[in-house]
Amino acid sequence: MKVNSGFTLVELLIVIVIIGLLGSLVAPEMFSKIGSSKQSTAKAQMQMFETALDTYYLDVGDYPEDLNSLTKSDVAGWDGPYIKKLPVDPWGNPYMLTTPGPDGASYVIMSLGKDGQQGGDGENEDIKVSG
């Protein structure tokens, strides 16, 4: 007598449904962690810009009009490059620099978030650092 070993179609379907349910519970949490890690990366890059801007200020006596001046400039006193290459934010958008910043700040560095537009919530929220 021949013994059939293996899984029936019903058993396989049950396993597939269970895996699908587990995936639907885990995936949203995983994707939210990816978004928050990109925001943390943007904040870390902005801290690097702050250091470079402060060093530029010590050499030149003023803050630059844009971040490109950190890599090359013909301003008197410039002793850079202060950053070898300008990074883009984790969503591929350029960082923005405003000098002077609002409310008495010397400058504001900003990433427009995932959507590349001002305003927004969550991953689309603007990230700003003032110095």
Q: Please state the pTM of the whole predicted model.
A: 0.70
Tell the CATH topology of 38-130: Glycoprotein, Type 4 Pilin (3.30.700)
Q: How many helices (H) and strands (E) does the chain have?
A: 1, 3
State pLDDT tens for residues 88-114.
999 999 999 998 888 888 999 999 988
pLDDT of residue 10: 84
Greater model confidence, 16 or 4: 16
Domain residue ranges in the chain:
38-130
Contacts of 42 (CB under 8 A, 6+ apart): 89, 90, 111, 127
pLDDT computed for residue 2 by the predictor? 65
The residue ranges of DSSP E strands in the chain, in sequence order, are 96-98, 108-111, 127-130
